């Protein structure tokens, strides 16, 4: 009987220790996120068996611009409540509601913090993964560097089962970014 109590006590201590570690790692990630006002980074995006790359600029709380290195000269722009895909070569602009994507959550510190706190954390060899699911947006898994707690990418599985992987490199924090960079192009 005494042995069973000892084993039970050990399991309870182990559980609460592991829970404390998870909470501590999430708090470190959130602290790092909350110290970021702007980001500039290179990216590789893989979706629909298509690999694309380019550079992104992020300015909190409402702005994101990703410039793709492709033939169409594609740009993804988030400007407050607008999500725009612009094909510069053809002067074509496509508007989407930002509310149906995770971009508004990533750009807003408090919403991003809630995704992290509500998500399930897993530790791999080099990264932390935080998985969050939404009935309206699908599933997102954020990847954070284990040492620096920097965001290193994400994976989105939308409501239709489409999978998009987004890998971040050459992260540059808190640089001065002009708001004009995020202007939506005027259609002729």
- Provide the mean pLDDT of the chain: 87
pLDDT of residue 172: 95
Give Cα 127 to chain centroid, integer Å: 14
**Structure tokens that stand for 160 in this block:** 């239709």
The sheet with strand 50-59 has its strands ordered as 92-97, 82-87, 74-79, 63-68, 50-59, 38-47, 163-173, 151-157, 138-145, 127-134, 120-123
Give yes or no for a contact between 107 and 78, defined as CB atoms under 8 angstroms apart: yes
For the segment 102-156, what is each residue's pLDDT rounded down to a tens digit? 999 999 999 999 999 999 999 888 899 999 999 989 999 999 999 999 999 999 9
Q: What is the separation, in whole angstroms, between the first and last Cα of the chain? A: 81
For the segment 20-76, what is each residue's pLDDT rounded down to a tens digit? 445 789 999 999 999 999 999 999 999 999 999 999 999 999 999 999 999 889 999
pLDDT of residue 188: 56
């Amino acid at each position: 009987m005494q042995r069973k109590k000892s084993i039970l006590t050990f399991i309870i201590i182990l559980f609460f220790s592991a829970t404390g570690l998870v909470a501590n790692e999430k708090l470190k990630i959130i602290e790092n996120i909350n110290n970021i006002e702007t980001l500039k980074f290179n990216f590789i995006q893989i979706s629909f068996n298509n690999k694309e790359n380019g550079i992104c600029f992020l300015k909190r709380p409402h702005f994101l611009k990703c410039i793709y290195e492709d033939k169409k000269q594609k740009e993804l722009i988030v400007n407050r409540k607008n999500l725009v895909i612009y094909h510069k070569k053809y002067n074509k602009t496509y508007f989407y509601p930002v509310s149906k994507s995770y971009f508004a959550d990533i750009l807003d510190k408090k919403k991003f913090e809630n995704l992290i706190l509500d998500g399930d954390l897993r530790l791999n060899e080099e990264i932390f993964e935080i998985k969050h699911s939404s009935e309206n947006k699908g599933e997102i898994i954020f990847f954070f560097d284990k040492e620096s707690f920097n965001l290193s990418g994400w994976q989105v599985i939308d409501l239709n089962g489409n999978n998009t992987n987004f890998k971040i490199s050459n992260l540059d924090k808190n640089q001065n970014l002009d708001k004009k960079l995020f202007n939506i192009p005027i259609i002729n």
